[in-house]
Chain A
């Protein structure tokens, strides 16, 4: 199969990544401001967004840096907050096969948002899967880094009239959820995820429901997989 030109593939990847742009820039700015207020300037924001590249952990990280927690506490917190990434990777093992030189970066940059763009495995016509996924991941990463740097530089000078734009992250996940819903006949796993996490939210509360939700979803997946055999 003949692929389109590199430029055309990059354009396609850019279009796919656009819905993430607003959210990442805004959340990045928020993070940059927060970090700058604790006395860590633009280089810190840049380095952290470049190397850690995990939104919610970086927000939590600001307070960990401020209070100077132990390395063990920091590691535990990081693992707890980001445990869900294990599951993203598990579900991408097959799709990322054969990505060659792009694979390490694809794995490193598999954030919530990148996952929601790429997890259904589809690739626009005429795009080489691994190159296209690499470009989508790279665009997202660059929005995040750019936002953090901007936030750090602007710090307090920013007029925060953009209140509510953080909803774009919610909207992004809702749109990929509904797209998967409309395009598939079997809604079992979507419902499993929805009901389990809602149930866990009711039982464990907003701060502690992620880990139990993941455990419950995994249990249900095992049961579903077993029943299929």
Chain B
């Protein structure tokens, strides 16, 4: 049990260190370097694209549903977002659609 507590402490420390490190190098008073401003603007879309791929990484194209529920639901989320610009509607709608599709197609 003590071992488990230690392991949890290590996980917590490593995670917070990764999150805090860039901030520690850039104190409030210093003016933000141009490169960091550039990254702040351009990195988020790239990182979020990576997260999308990460979430879909294990989609089994050769499985019984051939990844069709994933494909349709992702398209639905994009269209809903374009239409309403509300992530609540697109996330809710897309997830509901996905849950229906995997029940129909599997």
**Chain A residues in contact with chain B, CB under 8 A?**
15, 18-19, 22-23, 40, 44, 47-48, 51-54, 57-58, 61, 64-65, 68-69, 71, 74-75, 78-79, 82-98, 103, 107-108, 110, 112, 115-117, 119-121, 162-165, 167-182, 184, 187-194, 196-198, 201, 206, 209-210, 213-214, 217, 220-221, 224-225, 228
Flag if B22 contacts A90 (CB, 8 Å): yes
Flag if B91 contacts A172 (CB, 8 Å): yes
Flag if A19 contacts B21 (CB, 8 Å): no
Specify which chain B residues have a CB less than 8 angstroms from the CB of A194 in the assembled complex. Answer: 49, 52-53
Specify which chain A residues have a CB less than 8 angstroms from the CB of B99 in the assembled complex. Answer: 162-165, 167
Specify which chain B residues have a CB less than 8 angstroms from the CB of A121 in the assembled complex. Answer: 40
In angstroms, Cα B24 to Cα A107, docked, is 11
Residue in contact with B42 in the complex, picked from A40, A96, A174, A221, CB distance below 8 Å:
A221
A164-B98, A174-B78, A175-B90 as given contacts; A93 in contact with B23, CB under 8 Å: yes
Flag if B44 contacts A120 (CB, 8 Å): yes
Interface size on B, as a range, is 35 or more
Flag if B38 contacts A228 (CB, 8 Å): yes
Would you give the shortest CB distance from B102 to chain A, in whole angstroms? 5
Q: Which of B1-22 contact A (CB under 8 A)?
A: 3-4, 6-12, 14-16, 18-22
**Chain B residues in contact with chain A, CB under 8 A?**
3-4, 6-12, 14-16, 18-23, 26, 28, 32, 35-58, 70, 73-74, 77-78, 80-82, 85, 87-88, 90-92, 94-95, 98-99, 102-103
Specify which chain A residues have a CB less than 8 angstroms from the CB of B51 in the assembled complex. Answer: 112, 116, 173
